[in-house]
A and B are shown apart, each in its own frame.
Chain A
Amino acid sequence: KQEVTQIPAALSVPEGENLVLNCSFTDSAIYNLQWFRQDPGKGLTSLLLIQSSQREQTSGRLNASLDKSSGRSTLYIAASQPGDSATYLCAVPQGGSEKLVFGKGTKLTVNP
């Protein structure tokens, strides 16, 4: 059974700092991995989707990497801004199915 762990559970940084969020998963037989952002009381916004054949994906100040063999992914946020404050979730498929298994998220606070 796929399990997803995100570390740290919470992170507080000053504005402008670069930071890394970590995600690990137990079953490396995945075909992609997604990173999402969730604002309080809101739904999910997809940030990046990495295919299993890819090592990383970039979107603006965000860069996500994937190491399938070790069951790890990182989300790098450059030059953080207060507007980046949110909970970041990673998710991977359960087995070969369409079902997504989510981590508990990392709550990021960027202080002005």
Chain B
Amino acid sequence: GAVVSQHPSWVICKSGTSVKIECRSLDFQATTMFWYRQFPKQSLMLMATSNEGSKATYEQGVEKDKFLINHASLTLSTLTVTSAHPEDSSFYICSASKRETSPNEQFFGPGTRLTVL
């Protein structure tokens, strides 16, 4: 199998606080993990790509100091939304790829709904 989990599944926080979202590959080692954001009625937009032990690569327009990504092991990546504001409210989804499968086949987590009040 190729199961990816996310925690928490939803979170509500006050403006100005920081929120950490975890993404875990449960039954495989993920060579690369990806973080996406999805606004209502919009498609998924890639925010950043992370490889274990190295700095994440951010997409154009994504603030790396606001969205901190840590990929400390082959099974865990975290996304921290720092000083969250209402406009950061969104559905955050991670995915992971493993070397032994087809290049670019990504396995997706269930998502985290962030609401910033």
B43 touches A105 (CB 8 A): yes
Could you mark each residue 52-93 of chain A with 1 if its beta carbon is under 8 Å from any beta carbon of chain B, else 0?
A: 000000000000000000000000000000000000010101
Per the 8 Å Cβ criterion, residues 6-63 of A in contact with B are: 31-32, 34, 36, 41-46, 49, 51
B32 touches A103 (CB 8 A): no
Q: Is the interface of B mostly helix, strand, loop or mixed?
A: strand
* Chain B interfacial residues counted at CB < 8 A: 24
Additional A-B contact list (18), CB under 8 Å, known A31-B104, A100-B34: A32-B104, A34-B106, A36-B108, A41-B91, A41-B111, A42-B110, A43-B109, A43-B111, A44-B95, A45-B108, A46-B108, A51-B102, A91-B44, A100-B104, A100-B106, A103-B43, A104-B42, A105-B43
